[in-house]
Chains A and B, each alone.
Chain A
Amino acid sequence: MDLYGLVGFNILVGIGTIALITVGLGVIYGMMKIINLAHGEFMMLGAYATYVANTHGINIWIAMLIIAPIFVGLVGLVVERCLIRFLYGRMIDTMLATWGLSLGLIGLMTSIFGNDPRGVPTPVGSFSIGHYAASLYGFVIVVVAILALAGFYAMLSLTRYGLIVRATMQNPNMAAALGVAPPTIYMATFALGAALAGLAGGVLAPISGVSPVMGAAFIAKAFITVLGGGAAIVTGTSLASGLFGFIDTFVSFKSTPVIGEVALLLAAVVMIRILPQGITGRFLRRSL
């Protein structure tokens, strides 16, 4: 019984982790149809921001929940202004540009901080599920993932900015005729996606460690989940994270983490074959 409890908890944490690493990529891809191959490196920057802030004596929660997203959001703003905005509508070019950016960021961070991984302390302890000990930090991940998705959903559905964003993503030319400046909306959306990546990097830093190449571990999963989720960012990310997080964690538990990832990949391939537009390309199409 205790074991089931532990497995259930781990599955929940696995789902939360995937949702967290995906949401930033999902915002940028879902709203702007830009594949940001520097997403993993944005997370890496969030992790370093957390690390640096923490080593300068700033409270770890503030470092990961506030400083990391703000810092990476600003980086995203600069990247959009200097690079991305010249490439709208050119998917391959944006992929190349963001890939180049990811290499550049890895190089930059390696030259500043070196190759050796840094650690960020885990701010909470563990609790017991029967005979087993589980890290309370798992709860933090799940809660942050839920808050990120719910906050984004509320922003889209309840605020005027959200309305403008939805309209602009659907028909930028018509939105412009009503007084919206689409370039400004794209800029803000890209920065928001980057900030969410920074948040994910900051929150996962205590678990994954901090190193210049850490982003590579996340980008594939995030990418698969975005494609699996389909057009509706919040619903799609939630459902696809639920599915993939469950498969990954469950199979990892039954065998090894490597086989877990293989199972996740297989599931994704099968799903893209059956639902080429992702889950929300077929079901719940009107959701956000």
Chain B
Amino acid sequence: MLNVTDLRSGYGRIPILAGINLSVKDGEFVGILGHNGMGKSTLLRTLMGYLPMTGGDIAFDGKSLKGLSPTARARMGIGYVPQGREIFSSLSVYENLRMGCLLAKQAEKPTIDSILADFPRLERLLERPGGALSGGEQQLLALARCLCGGPKFILLDEPTEGIQPSIIEEMIDTLQKIGREKGLTILLVEQNLNFITSLSERVLILQKGLIIREVPPHVAKDRAMMEEFVGMV
């Protein structure tokens, strides 16, 4: 589904990504682990087209994304849940979801109803302005809004940042359930070991703009071994 080769990008003339190689197969959940400032968000922003690539290539479904705007990438089926959630704060929760439906294949109402079934917490918040939700509720809304558009591939940027454990568990359950139902493919960047091990089939480690190694599969599935492994890196 996604093939990234020797991807380079940065801010202005400051290089951040120094040649990323990675590929994600259809239906796979891939996690990327990295500490603060290692370039996780930069990678996702480049994949989504907010930052121009200065080298290498991104192929999505076999087609190069070079020069395509975020709008074009979204229309190809890439969904993006940014760090900090970026809820439209003056729009109501329902209106935020309606915005998510712009690319939906079905009509707005049934799409939102079916998503709400997976996010019951949002149900009683529909009329509230998005800015008046708690961080956790905003994160669920950002996820739900992204799913409304029916993307086949989702970029998730630190969904657990500042979120209480019970909501993290809820997100894990929801993503596993929906992922299976809809055959989603997910690329997730995280620092939270619990979240990343629960969801990802493969885990890569990003350091200073490079994927320095892949966590062996038997380690990636086990929280304790993962902690040990990460301590080692």
Contact = CB atoms under 8 A, between A and B. Distances in A.
Contacts of B103: 178-179
A176 interface: yes
Contact of B95 (A163, A175, A179, A180): A163
Interface stretch (B55-63, B86-94, B118-126, B180-188): B86-94
Interface in B149-178: 149
A177 B90 contact: no
B102 A179 contact: yes
A59 interface: no
A173 B145 CA distance: 15
Interface in B85-110: 86, 88-91, 95, 98-100, 102-103
A179 B69 CA distance: 10
Contacts of A286: 90, 129
A275 B70 CA distance: 38
B129 A182 contact: no
Interface string A239-261: 00000000000000000000000
A170 B90 contact: yes
B189 to A, nearest CB: 16
Nearest to B50: A173
B50 A181 contact: no
**Interface size classification for chain B:** 20 to 34
B156 to A, nearest CB: 12
A176 B90 contact: no
A177 B129 contact: no
B215 interface: no
A174 interface: yes
B88 A174 contact: yes
Given A179-B102, A179-B149, A180-B102, A170 B91 contact: yes
A174 B74 contact: no
A171 B84 CA distance: 13
A158 to B, nearest CB: 12
B35 to A, nearest CB: 25
Nearest to A177: B80
B71 A176 contact: yes
Main secondary structure of the interface of A (DSSP, over half): helix
Given A176-B70, A177-B74, A178-B149, A163 B90 contact: no
Contacts of A166: 88, 90-91, 95
A264 B86 CA distance: 40
A178 B99 contact: yes
A179 B86 contact: no
Interface residues of A, number: 18
A74 interface: no
Nearest to A181: B71
A164 B102 CA distance: 9
Contact of B91 (A160, A163, A180): A163
Contacts of B88: 166-167, 170-171, 174
B69 A175 contact: no
B99 A177 contact: no
B82 interface: yes
B98 A163 contact: yes
Contacts of B90: 166, 170, 286
B43 interface: no
Given A166-B90, A170-B90, A177-B80, 16 more contacts: A163-B91, A163-B99, A166-B88, A170-B89, A171-B86, A171-B88, A176-B70, A176-B74, A177-B70, A178-B99, A178-B100, A178-B145, A179-B71, A180-B99, A180-B102, A286-B129
28 contacts: A163-B91, A163-B95, A163-B98, A164-B99, A164-B102, A166-B91, A167-B95, A167-B99, A170-B90, A170-B91, A171-B88, A173-B50, A173-B70, A174-B82, A174-B86, A174-B88, A176-B71, A176-B74, A177-B48, A177-B70, A177-B74, A178-B100, A178-B103, A179-B103, A180-B102, A181-B69, A286-B90, A286-B129
